[in-house]
Copies of this chain bind each other. A is one copy, B any other.
Amino acid sequence: MPAGYHQFCPVSKAMELLDERWTLLVVRELACGSEKFNDLRRGLPRMSPSLLSKRLQQLARSGIVERHTEGKDVRYVLTTAGQELRPVVEALGAWGVRWVGELGDEDLDPTLLLWDMHRNVDHTAVPDGRIVIQFSFPDAPTKTRDWWMVITADDADVCDVDPGYPVAVMVNASLRRMVEVWRGDMTWSQALVAGDIDVLGPETLRRDLPRWFTPSPFASIPRPA
């Protein structure tokens, strides 16, 4: 931890706790509902486990996170102070979506995309029973090209190997377009019309699929003219 700012300004005092690399992204993950170490890791794939561990300890010392253990089960939970960082994260995201438009190829991580989509499945909107969606990103490297999302009444799993169940809908998409749709930079229908995303399957499922996922809060932020 570098020295503080030696300023009484509340912004400075906040940044003394929050300005280190990864810190607010850990908070974001916690605010998104991840509680377990390895779930946090999945949302922060490029972060080393030792650094994640360190950040969690720092956040705990700062009173932002509490470490709960029940038997072998360990969970990290935002304190009240931590939950009140949500407006900060939201303001940052709202700004980012408006003013940091262009994504590099490096930002297009299919693992992260599927992880993010899977935790935003709206189970009330998905038909009953087990629904399997296959995603295929032709422009992605072979290893991360094909994905299967298995949705049941109260769960959603992601696999990078065919789990064997019959596929209900197949989504064939440019990875970049899929990410852009997910971020709200464009709509499903725009991408479909443009031919950048193909949805294959029964008519009703094809039509309803966009509603199976609750859009990110940033999707609705108006973009600058």
Contacts and interface: CB of A to CB of B under 8 A. Distances in A.
Nearest to A11: B93
Nearest to A17: B100
Given A6-B106, A95-B84, A95-B88, A19 B11 contact: no
A112 B7 contact: yes
Contact of A25 (B12, B91, B182): B12
A141 to B, nearest CB: 14
Q: Count identical subunits in the complex.
A: 2
Interface string A93-109: 11111111001101111
B8 A96 contact: no
A127 B141 CA distance: 72
A21 interface: yes
Interface string A106-144: 111100110010000000000000000000000000000
